[in-house]
Structure formats: structure tokens, C-alpha cells
């Protein structure tokens, strides 16, 4: 019984001691504590690694999801006596038009004699040309001075260049990467 009373007395004194502590500094730190915290955060930012996209002159990543921001409308073209899908680009795509970007995909050699390559979101068996995807899933690679090598079907590579949107010329892809070069992010 004596042990129980001693434990209760010690517990009560401990509770009283804790309740008298000024813990307000935990919720409302002093000005000195705030200044110290901000100083540490600034130092961390100054020494944080810089992402490739943040470096001036480096292309920013273009994702296939961004290229999905397009709506296609069936438009009849009398000169061809046929319908075609006319794109209306959304704000996400419009925002990157003319930008220096990089994108990763699968190579589809369309015409080797003409040095005509397309980068596809999907491998050849599922690409736009085989009926498995839409026109928003391919980008025409326009190499300045021609491609540096012969690319193989389904090589997974990253290219950088300037994104150009095409809504009017039915003989070209909707997305064109001008000045395309292989790129390592």
C-alpha cells in the first residue's frame, strides 16, 4: 500500500511539474528561433542540387501526358474528298509550343531514304501507324542536316529540340521536333 501511495505522490508531483513548464515556445518560437530556422533553410537552398530543367539553356522535359492536351475534330476536305482529324491544341500544349524540350519514346523509321523518323509513345506494335494509338502519341523528328545515324525500330531514346505545333498541314504530324538531336537528361 505504501508503494502505491509513493507512486501516486511521485506521479502527481511529476504532473504538477510538467504543467508549470512554459511550453509556449514550442508553438510560438522566439524571434531568434525563427531567424535561426530561416537561416538554416536558406543555407540548404543555396547548396541544393540544381535540376537540369532549372539550368538555363537546358531543355525542359516534355511528357506524353502533356501532348494529350488536344482535341481532334472530323473535318471534311473537298480536295481529298475525305475527312481528317483537325487538332485543337489545349493550353498545356500551347504553353510549350516553341520551347526547347526533350522527350523520350520509341523510334519508328517511316522512310529511311527521306531520313523520316517519328518518335512514338508506344513501341511499333502499338503505335499510331498500326492503329493502336492516336496522332497525339507521335512526334516528327526533324534533324538539322540529317540524322547522325540510322535508327532502328523500337530503339528507346530521348531527343531534344524545339516543339512546333501543326494544325493545318495534313501531310505532316501534329507535333514536330525541329532541330532534333539525341539527348541524355
Residues 6+ apart with CB under 8 A from 99: 59, 60, 62, 162, 163
Mind listing the pLDDT tens digit for each residue in 73-127?
999 988 888 988 899 999 999 999 999 999 999 999 999 999 999 999 999 887 7
Count the neighbouring beta carbons within 10 Å of the beta carbon of residue 142. Answer: 19
Mind listing the pLDDT tens digit for each residue in 140-168?
999 999 999 999 999 999 999 999 999 99
State in Å, rounded, how far the first CA of the chain is from the last one: 73
pTM of the predicted protein model: 0.68
Distance separating alpha carbons of residues 178 and 161, to the nearest angstrom? 5
Average pLDDT, the chain: 78
State yes or no: pLDDT of 174 exceeds 90.
yes
Distance separating alpha carbons of residues 102 and 96, to the nearest angstrom? 11
Largest Cα span, the chain: 105
Distance separating alpha carbons of residues 72 and 89, to the nearest angstrom? 9
Q: Which domains does the chain have, with CATH numbers?
A: 2-46 (no CATH), 61-182 (2.40.50)
Q: Is 151 helix (H, G, I), strand (E, B) or coil?
A: coil
Instruction: Please check whether residue 127 is in contact with residue 108, taking contact to mean a CB–CB distance below 8 angstroms.
Output: yes
Amino acid at each position: 500500500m505504501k508503494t502505491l501511495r509513493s507512486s501516486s505522490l511521485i506521479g502527481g508531483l511529476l504532473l504538477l511539474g510538467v504543467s508549470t513548464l512554459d511550453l509556449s515556445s514550442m508553438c510560438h518560437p522566439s524571434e531568434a528561433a525563427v531567424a535561426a530556422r530561416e537561416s538554416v533553410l536558406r543555407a540548404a537552398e543555396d547548396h541544393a542540387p540544381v535540376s537540369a530543367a532549372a539550368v538555363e539553356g537546358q531543355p525542359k522535359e516534355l511528357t506524353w501526358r502533356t501532348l494529350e492536351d488536344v482535341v481532334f475534330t472530323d473535318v471534311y476536305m473537298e480536295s481529298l474528298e475525305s475527312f481528317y482529324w483537325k487538332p485543337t491544341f489545349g493550353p498545356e500544349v500551347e504553353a510549350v509550343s516553341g520551347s526547347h524540350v526533350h522527350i523520350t519514346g520509341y523510334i519508328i523509321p517511316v522512310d529511311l531514304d527521306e531520313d523520316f523518323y517519328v518518335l512514338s509513345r508506344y513501341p511499333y506494335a502499338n503505335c499510331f501507324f498500326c492503329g493502336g494509338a492516336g496522332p497525339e502519341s507521335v512526334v516528327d523528328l526533324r534533324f538539322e542536316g540529317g540524322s547522325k545515324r540510322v535508327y532502328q525500330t523500337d530503339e528507346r531514346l530521348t531527343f531534344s529540340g524545339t516543339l512546333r505545333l501543326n494544325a493545318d498541314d495534313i501531310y505532316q504530324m501534329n507535333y514536330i521536333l525541329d532541330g532534333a538531336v539525341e539527348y541524355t537528361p
